[in-house]
Structures are given as C-alpha cells and as structure tokens.
C-alpha cells in the first residue's frame, strides 16, 4: 500500500497575531493604538492578516481530500520532522522559503505569495489560486523545477562543528543588524 502524498503548509505568525499575543485582544490593540497615537496603521495590519488567512484557506482547500496534510509555523520549524516524500507549500515571503530550505533535503517547495502583487519575491511567485494545479503537477512529476544551491558558513576551527546553512545569503556583520539571528563563535 502506498501512502498518499503529504502536503506540509508552512507559514509565519502574522503581525496581527503577534499584536494580539502582546495585547490580549485585537480591540485592546486598537484602543492602545488610539490612546498612544501609534504610527502603526492597524487597518493595514488587518488587511495583511485577512490576505494571509484567505491564502491559507485557499491552499488548504487545494489539497486533495485523500492526501495527508501537515502545517507548521516558522517558529516551530526546528522541531518539525519533514518526511522525504513531503510536498512543501510555503505561504509567505521569500525569507520564509529560505528559512524552510535549511530543514529540507530534496523535498519540492511551492512558494505562495499571500498578497499577490505586493512583493517582488522570486521564491514566492505563485498565487494561492494556482496551488491545486501546482500540487497535482508536482505529484505527477510534471512540474517545472528550479534547483537552488545552499551556502554554508563554517567557523575556521572545523573541529568545533559550528556552521550555518542558508539559501539566499549569509549575513556577516554587526550583531545588531535585523538580519543577525545566529552567532557562530
């Protein structure tokens, strides 16, 4: 018996979800923003949240009912076990695809832009509405593939075993830069 394909949908917590986590409720966040005359445009945050939710729902609906499914948020990637046969659908920005790539070996990845036309991503160029067609094409081995190369930074002392693997780029510089998330010592 052959197992049905498993689709793993990867996404990150939205800005609205983060604000609610910090404030307790969306209404409290709106109250605080108004009270403090915050520069955060909550209407734009809400619009991005709605677009993300619609994209995730469209992707979920695109997965054939007989297929297995999994979902993981970015912050849980280091604890998620990808299977060699997984089809990975990343709903988000290019940076999320690059982050997911560190945890994959040969699994195909479909990059979905949750808000088509808003970004210039080359790794998340597909619309949510294309997901059903893309999943079937990947499962049938007839999808066009674009192979990507991973880069690895290794500390001079190879006996330490400290290394960092990345897809797009490896940032070397000030630890205060927003891209600085890891430290090799």
Mean residue pLDDT of the chain comes to: 86
Structural domain includes residue 27: no
Same-domain check for residues 134 and 154 = no
**Distance between CA atoms of residues 122 and 97, nearest Å:** 10
**Distance between CA atoms of residues 47 and 107, nearest Å:** 32
Q: How many domains does the chain have?
A: 2
Say yes or no to pLDDT of 55 above 90.
Answer: yes
Higher pLDDT, 121 or 8: 8
Name the nearest CA neighbour of 101 among 60, 113, 110.
Answer: 110
Same-domain check for residues 125 and 153 = no
Entry pTM: 0.82
Structural domain includes residue 176: yes
Structural domain includes residue 174: yes
Contact 102, 74 (CB under 8 A): no
Domain span including residue 96: 6-12+48-139
Structural domain includes residue 40: no
- What is the average per-residue pLDDT within 151-169? 74
Structural domain includes residue 20: no
The pLDDT value recorded for residue 165 is 79
Structural domain includes residue 77: yes
Same-domain check for residues 96 and 68 = yes
User: How do residues 64-103 score in pLDDT, each as one tens digit?
Assistant: 999 999 999 999 999 999 999 999 999 998 889 989 998 9
Structural domain includes residue 182: yes
- What is the average per-residue pLDDT within 102-130? 88
Say yes or no to pLDDT of 171 above 60.
Answer: yes
Task: Residue 118: give its domain's CATH number.
Answer: 3.40.50.10330
């Amino acid at each position: 018996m052959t197992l049905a394909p498993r689709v793993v949908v990867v996404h990150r917590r939205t800005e609205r979800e983060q604000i609610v986590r910090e404030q307790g409720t969306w209404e409290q966040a709106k109250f605080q923003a108004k009270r403090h005359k915050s520069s955060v445009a909550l209407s734009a945050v809400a619009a991005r949240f709605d677009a993300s939710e619609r994209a995730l729902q469209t992707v979920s609906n695109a997965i054939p009912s007989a297929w297995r499914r999994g979902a993981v948020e970015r912050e849980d990637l280091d604890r998620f076990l990808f299977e060699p046969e997984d089809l990975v659908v990343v709903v988000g920005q290019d940076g999320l695809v690059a982050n997911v790539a560190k945890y994959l070996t040969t699994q195909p990845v479909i990059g979905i832009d949750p808000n088509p036309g808003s970004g210039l991503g080359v790794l998340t160029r597909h619309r949510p509405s294309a997901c059903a067609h893309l999943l079937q094409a990947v499962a049938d081995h007839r999808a066009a593939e674009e192979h990507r190369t991973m880069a690895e930074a290794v500390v001079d002392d190879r006996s330490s075993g400290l290394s960092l693997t990345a897809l797009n780029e490896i940032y070397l510089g000030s630890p205060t830069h927003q891209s600085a998330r890891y430290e090799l010592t």
